[in-house]
Structure 1
Amino acid sequence: MTTDQTAGPSPRIAVVGSINMDLVVRCERLPRPGETIIGLDAREVSGGKGANQAVAAARLGASVSMVGRVGSDGFGETLLGSLQAEGIHVGHVARTPDCSSGLAIVAVETSGENAITVVPGANGRLSVEDVRAASDVIEAADVLLLQLEVPTETVIAASQIARAAGTRVILDPAPAPTAVPEGLLAVDLLCPNESEAAALNGLPVESDDDLQAAARRLAEISGAEVIITLGDRGALLHQRDGQSVRVPAFPCTAVDTTAAGDAFAGALALRLAEGTDVPEAIRFANAAGAIAASRHGAQPGMPTRNDVEQLMADPTQPPSE
């Protein structure tokens, strides 16, 4: 299923994944084990890989449906409100009694590097039954976005529903699993970063040769096209015909890389849903990721389509926040 945005309605994207509250502490550098340091500031920001990717796609112009769970706490109310404020359909986001919302503790260096600890909370309760109940929006979508901050059996069930309906499936395998259950990688596009590619292969990725080998191996395991994201070095696409394409990054001054990968995923889904070929969709996604990395906060930093097109037209003039 693909949609030409110029000829009809907005592309339809379904996201099955996590919804977290991020407690973000900005610091000069990350603390060492056993060390206490003084932070520069702290704030609460709506996040979670699933919700971030949903916001990224919605802000770029997609019609987005979120499938997930929040807790019965104040954070749950805030998180639902954040999604609704972006125009995201939340009819399949359930409130979970006697359970806290997902929480992420995010430490961000002034350089933009980060360290994140996630407490799943209600995300851990997202079930196979939940995605079956949401089969209408999954089957109607042009693209389904998946990550691994919810139970793997739920991710596999969502992927199976989508592929049976002809919906294209993109999996961002983060956090990388210690073991890969059968069926998890049976998707159309697999999009790990370097560390996730290494974990999925069980092999180091320390050189360009390692990178090419990792992409080939993941393609063999999954049967999918593979995109390995490389931060400020762009992305590597391994196509089904065995050919590899390197897509360069856009320049940016990184201040917070927390959601750059989520911006990439949301933008990639949007352009693929519009019928763009994969290399050009990656170029668009690289631009979205660069802009997100140059801004503070996960969802607040997600770019608009105008932002992305401006950077693509003139990489020397990044859009302001």
Structure 2
Amino acid sequence: MNKVTVLGSLNVDTSFRIKSFPKPGETVQVSEKSNAAGGKGANQAVAAARQGAKTAFIGQIGNDGAGKFMLDSLKADNIDSTYVSQNESVGTGTANIMLDEDGQNCILVYGGANQSLTDDDVSKAEPIIKDSDFIVAQFETPEQAAISAFQIAKKNNVITVLNPAPAPASAINPELLKLTDIIVPNELESASITGIKITNENSMIKTADTFAGMGVPNVIITIGDKGAFYSTKNGHGLIPAYKVKAVDTTAAGDTFIGALVSQISPDFSNIVDAIKFAEHASSLTVQRLGAQPSIPTLEEVLKVAK
């Protein structure tokens, strides 16, 4: 069983089902509205926990009902929330999600307490980081918090996993990249960081080489319904995706990350099998509505992975 710590966001998601995305100035009717626990970090932690990993979380909520809701959701999946702090002046993060008929989404995120996470909060969590096999971070919390967490991890031989999502608006701090053992962007995030558009396998290999030049030795690029490309010191390859009818893609990438770190070995020797497992998990997620409600259990993934 892998021991996974996730540093990241906690958001209450409100989803709106619509026929198609509105044009500027247009008003559209909502056919269905729902609320669910979400946030990229929380989704990834839930995915890891549901796939059998011993999971802990580092994050921040507000002193409000939404914060209590998010804490309860973590505890429901047996995620250690010891290091989820409470902010007395800023509310819990929220996200408004528009879903069209094809299952594609547009998301508006209010960072709230997620953006108030500090180095001090991370330092307090050092015991749980030291006891982990992997630590995962994204960009819905401050970059400096991820740097601090990865510094602790590297001192204690913990594998660092960076999911650079949402796509960074400015250059990533080079120190963070040098502290990253494996980076897992999607194709758009990858292009945003490296300047290389993913068009074919050659562009993927060039991208991996570029990340290596930045200090990141291992790469997985998720490419939607085409699958995932990986590159490590032992080789590279493209693992095709499993074809399903997507209903809601909101937590697909987060499910992939959480499922991946629940299965992959610290030396990445089983990376192909871990990616296939993560793709099975993600293929189940996109066939359901909602973020965390759509994330499958280990038993469900094993059924489709036979």
Shift of 1:184: 1.6
Q: Is the counterpart of residue 271 in structure 1 residue 263 in structure 2?
A: yes
Summarize the alignment of residues 147-296 of structure 1 with structure 2, pairs less than 5 Å apart. 147-177=138-168, 178-185=170-177, 186-241=179-234, 243-273=235-265, 277-296=270-289
* Local SS of the residue matching 1:187: coil
Distance 1:192 1:58 in 2: 21
Deviation of 1:232 after TM superposition, in Å, equals: 1.1
TM superposition score normalised by structure 2: 0.95
Out of 107, 131, 146, the residue aligned to residue 116 of structure 1 is: 107
1:306 CA drift (Å): 1.5
Task: Tell me: CA distance 1:274–1:309, structure 2 relative to 1, closer, same or farther (3 Å).
Answer: farther
| Shift of residue 203, structure 1, vs aligned partner | 3.4
Question: Where in structure 2 are there 5+ consecutive unaligned residues?
Answer: none
Measured after TM superposition, the shift of residue 61 of structure 1 is 1.1
CA distance in 1, matches of 2:190, 2:301: 27
Pairwise CA distance, 1:216: 2.2
User: Helix, strand or coil for the counterpart of 1:310?
Assistant: helix
TM normalised by structure 1 equals 0.91
Structure 2 residue 107 is matched with structure 1 residue 107: no
Choose from 28, 34, 50 the match for 2:25. Answer: 34
Indicate the residue corresponding to 1:305 in structure 2: 298
Report the AA paired with residue 44 of structure 2.
Answer: Q
- How many residue pairs match? The answer is 303
1:206 Cα shift? Answer: 3.6
Query: Does the CA contact (< 8 Å) of 2:10 and 2:93 recur in 1?
Result: yes
Match of 2:76 in 1: 85
Task: Provide the alpha-carbon RMSD of the alignment.
Answer: 1.4
**Percent identical residues:** 38
Q: Which runs of 4+ in 1 moved over 3 A?
A: 206-209, 273-276
Counterpart Cα distance in 1 of 2:181 and 2:195: 22
Amino acid in structure 2 at the alignment position of 1:180: I
**Using the alignment, how far apart are the partners of 1:36 and 1:179 within structure 2?**
36
Which residue of structure 1 lines up, in the alignment, with residue 16 of structure 2?
Answer: 25
| AA aligned opposite 1:271 | Q
1:76 paired residue among 67, 71, 74: 67
Do residues 135 (structure 1) and 133 (structure 2) align?
A: no
Q: Deviations over 1:124-157 (max 9, x none)?
A: 0111111110000011011111111000000111
Q: How many Å separate the matches in 2 of 1:133 and 1:274?
A: 25
Q: Kindly indicate whether the alpha-carbon contact (under 8 Å) linking 1:287 and 1:308 is maintained by their aligned counterparts in 2.
A: yes
Output one character per residue of 1:87-108: Cα deviation in whole Å (capped at 9) or x when no partner: 1111100111021111111111
1:56 Cα offset (Å): 0.4
CA contact (8 A) 2:183 2:216 kept: no
- The letter for the 2-side match of 1:308 is V
Give the structure 2 partner of residue 6 of structure 1: none
User: Gapped runs of 5+ residues in structure 1?
Assistant: 1-9, 314-321
